[in-house]
A and B are shown apart, each in its own frame.
Chain A
Amino acid sequence: MWARPSQLLRRGIIGMNRRNIRYIGRYNSRRLYPLVDDKLKTKLLAEQYGITTPALIGTVTTQFEVKRVGNMIAGHDGFAIKPAKGSGGKGILVIERVDHDGFVKPSGAKLSLEDLHRHISNILSGLYSLGGAPDVAMIEALINFDEKLSEYTYEGVPDIRVIVFRGYPVMAMMRLSTAASDGKANLHQGAVGVGLDIATGTAVRGVQFDRSRRDHPDTGHELASLRIPDWTNLLELAASCYEMTGLGYLGTDMVIDRNRGPMLLELNARPGLAIQMANGEGLRSRLDLVEKQSDRLSVKERVTFAQRHFARRGELKDLPEPELAPTCVNT
């Protein structure tokens, strides 16, 4: 039922207090927060730095404009409505396709245009934003995620969380939405977290509700065979968010689009600790190692360093893996 503190310490598990004081407090300057707390700002900034993000259909900034949403989304098959300052996935409404009689959510539930208006109106009045401040609604094109990954997820888009510390990707996991999580990729709502090997992008370990899992609870597909395509590219994209924001302890949420490759979905200046559960390993030793490294290296060099030092073999597989992603380690 309870672990002893010494057990957690030995595994290098980081607690909330340590994360807040030692990493967020020390490496994330307050004045940089608006860059990541406002998704619209993040998006515009990412464009400057050549980081791909989902296409923006439009924004709604005033209650007056809410009525025009119908025109804005005309012709788009699927889209997502997000509050620019939302946190923890709150207020994100995903419409998978548009029927003749309404908008269909991934769960199959249908919404009317009225419902969309109400949702956007709620976003504008600050219902989902931090501190209830007035907000802006963003409408983004839906991501066409890679079919190879579709069997691992139920509804919703699986996203990949990479913790980037001082520009080094230190730990990663994929979040697979489940029926229990209502298509949302939030671990505490019941999504499955799959730890990913930084070196290869293969699955290390799966957890749901803090208990380990070997298969997806809804699709029944085993998790061990999960392998993220275009992995090194994705890591480089994530690592370059350090230069973009200046935040030293950063959670980057990435998705892989069938046509456009890895994309940045959003950034988080206060990334959660569940990633340690998904990896079955604490962040402590990796962060300690990165703290000793120079942050003057280029993105490629940092990713290479991370892939070399943070490589792990999956626990889900019984057989040892013969090749260890030769494309990645080439120094």
Chain B
Amino acid sequence: MSRLPFYLIVGLLMLLGIGTSLHRHIQMEVPWTPGEQRQVWEVEAIVDFTALGDPARVELALPSHQRGYRILTENTASPGYGLSFLQDESGRRAQWATRRATGSQQLYYSVRLLVTDDQRKRQIARPPLRDVSWERPYDTAAAQVIERAWMRSADPYTFTRELIRDFSDELQGENARLLLTQFERTPLLVRLLNQAGVHAQEVSGLLLEDGRRRQTLTSWIMVFEDEENWALFDPRTAEQGQPDNLLLWEAGGRAVLEVQGGTNSRVTFSMLSRSQPAAAAVRSQLADDTLLNFSIHSLPLEEQALFQTILLIPIGALVVVFLRILVGIKTSGTFMPVLIALAFIQTTLPTGLIGFLLVVSVGLVIRNYLSYLNLLLVARVSAVIITVIAIISIFSVLSYRFGLNAGLTITFFPMIILAWTIERMSILWEEEGPKQVLIQGGGSLITAVLAYLAMNNPWIRHITFNFLGVQLIIMALILLLGNYTGYRLLELRRFKPVTED
């Protein structure tokens, strides 16, 4: 009988559980603790244009998940326009369209972004080299600028830096000045880079600053070292690297805004930074769950609330397994304490304890009378169930009359379980005496209270709800406990007399 398959299964469950939890933590930015605060940016883009009275079509580039930022939610406001979101390899775009529009038009797009520690660079497809042709006399100027920068550089990045430096204000050479008279700075630089055989494209980014309004996008140059690696360059200062507060709005080398059927179009941005609890930030993440990101958050809210409770049951089961196998506490009914603990969550602990003791003790008295009636078992337990319901109703009404609203929560107790508990305790009383009833009843209550404390812990609630992988870890732990052949804690006391002589 090899135990290898057993340990393999346990190890696999452990690995899978830890793996998926880590994945959710790192990839989806789900925090380990519920209290953590996260910074969230709210950015609003306003597209303004004057419509010409014809069908109008507006295309706006949209940001995607990227290094340092994760999109939580996005909204648009554009009455009278049809809206669709397009996605291709160059990025996401929103497309508004209408049959007829006249006068000043305003379209709104707002996005909430979670600031993350995700440092991985986004994969962006390398743009092809474009053929570059110049008119005289710009061709010689361009060739000389390239030649000069080429000599003083070793690779695409240093070349870019030298090239931009040539165009910067203080050091501007004659050739550069000539070229700038004819071309815009950023497209010109991309053109020169392409001519020198360096893959590059112009991208647009938004510098995030709290409380700023009417901001515009700034242009940046994305230079590719090879197929995968790229770096951002500031075309003004030649600085390499992406500033932390730069949100790449359009990274596909396409226009940010395209308007057909309108003039004077422009897009401006306003932004606001807020802090919010991490759990809330996680909850509002877009439901782009794949199998790996498998999460309860993709369910409707009502079912989510239900699952929040269901996912706690394994924690209760773990407490029961722990107390029975490692400690050796006796309970009446194996998992009855878990159900009682679930009721405690609804009633709060003091009310729950008082309610439980009241129902069980009154139930025991009535059950004691029932035993004189000489009934068949099923009929008797059914009678106890009705008795329990009656007791619960009476307590609810009484507590409400006395203004104790907490008493109303007593209805959360699982009545059939309570009836069986009463029946079992009553038999135990008859056969083994009140002492055993106290031991088992007390054991059940202690287990229920401990299970309640574990299940009601905010941190445990957060972990079980947000990391489904934890369920696999619990499973592995329970399997391991099921393999334990050592002594129970209470056995150390029970067998003590043997060691004495």
Contacts and interface: CB of A to CB of B under 8 A. Distances in A.
Interface of A: 1-5, 7-8, 11, 13, 15-18, 21-22, 26, 63, 90, 117-118, 121-122, 125-127, 132, 188-189, 207, 210-212, 276-277, 280-282, 315
B484 A17 contact: yes
Contacts of B118: none
A207 B497 contact: yes
Contact of B492 (A5, A16, A117): A5
26 contacts: A3-B492, A3-B495, A3-B496, A3-B498, A4-B492, A5-B487, A8-B487, A8-B495, A8-B499, A13-B487, A13-B498, A16-B328, A17-B485, A17-B486, A17-B488, A18-B485, A18-B486, A21-B483, A21-B485, A117-B374, A125-B376, A189-B433, A210-B494, A276-B495, A277-B498, A280-B498
A117 B325 CA distance: 40
Contacts of A122: 377
B491 interface: yes
A121 B427 CA distance: 15
Contacts of B377: 122, 125-127, 132
A13 B427 contact: no
Contacts of A127: 377, 427
A95 B399 CA distance: 50
Contacts of B491: 8, 15-16
B258 interface: no
B376 A8 contact: no
Q: Which 4 A-B pairs have the closest CB atoms?
A: A125-B377, A18-B485, A15-B487, A3-B496
A126 B424 CA distance: 13
B136 to A, nearest CB: 92
Nearest to A122: B377
Given A8-B495, A21-B484, 13 more contacts: A3-B492, A3-B499, A4-B492, A5-B486, A5-B487, A5-B492, A8-B498, A8-B499, A17-B485, A17-B486, A211-B497, A276-B498, A282-B498
Interface in B443-501: 483-488, 491-499, 501
A299 to B, nearest CB: 27
B130 to A, nearest CB: 73
Contacts of A13: 487, 495, 498
A26 B378 CA distance: 36
Nearest to A274: B494
A258 B374 CA distance: 37
B492 A280 contact: no
A276 B491 CA distance: 12
Given A15-B487, A90-B431, A121 B376 contact: yes
A170 to B, nearest CB: 17
A26 B433 CA distance: 34
Contacts of B501: 212, 280, 315
B303 interface: no
B198 to A, nearest CB: 69
A11 B484 contact: no
A259 B286 CA distance: 84
A15 B488 contact: yes
A2 B493 contact: yes
Contacts of B499: 3, 7-8, 11
A16 B431 contact: no
A277 B376 contact: no
Given A5-B486, A17-B325, A21-B485, A277 B495 contact: yes
Contacts of B227: none
Contacts of A126: 377
B116 to A, nearest CB: 46
B54 interface: no
B432 interface: yes
Contacts of A315: 501
The residue in B325, B328, B499 that gathers the most chain A C-beta atoms within 10 A of its C-beta is B499
A259 B1 CA distance: 47
A8 B374 contact: no
A3 B378 CA distance: 45
B486 A2 contact: no
A281 B495 CA distance: 10
B497 A16 contact: no
Contacts of B1: 26
Contacts of A3: 492-493, 495-496, 498-499
A212 B497 contact: yes
Given A126-B377, A132-B377, A2 B498 contact: no
Given A5-B486, A15-B488, A16-B488, A125 B378 contact: yes
Nearest to A20: B485
A314 to B, nearest CB: 13
A151 B495 CA distance: 29
A90 B494 CA distance: 23
Nearest to A182: B433
Contacts of B495: 3, 8, 13, 276-277
A214 to B, nearest CB: 12
Contacts of A1: 493, 496
B378 A2 contact: no
A18 B491 CA distance: 12
A8 B493 CA distance: 10
Contacts of A281: 498
Interface in B73-129: none
A210 B493 CA distance: 10
Contacts of A4: 492
B328 A189 contact: no
Nearest to A212: B497
Contacts of A210: 494, 497
A11 B498 contact: yes
Contacts of B493: 1-3
B328 A8 contact: no
Interface string B321-359: 000010010000000000000000000000000000000
A16 B377 CA distance: 31
Contacts of A125: 376-378
Interface in B375-415: 376-378
Contact of B497 (A22, A121, A277): A277
Contacts of A22: 485
The residue in A15, A132, A212 that gathers the most chain B C-beta atoms within 10 A of its C-beta is A15
Contacts of B427: 127
B492 to A, nearest CB: 5
Given A15-B486, A17-B486, A118-B374, A8 B432 contact: no
B173 to A, nearest CB: 85
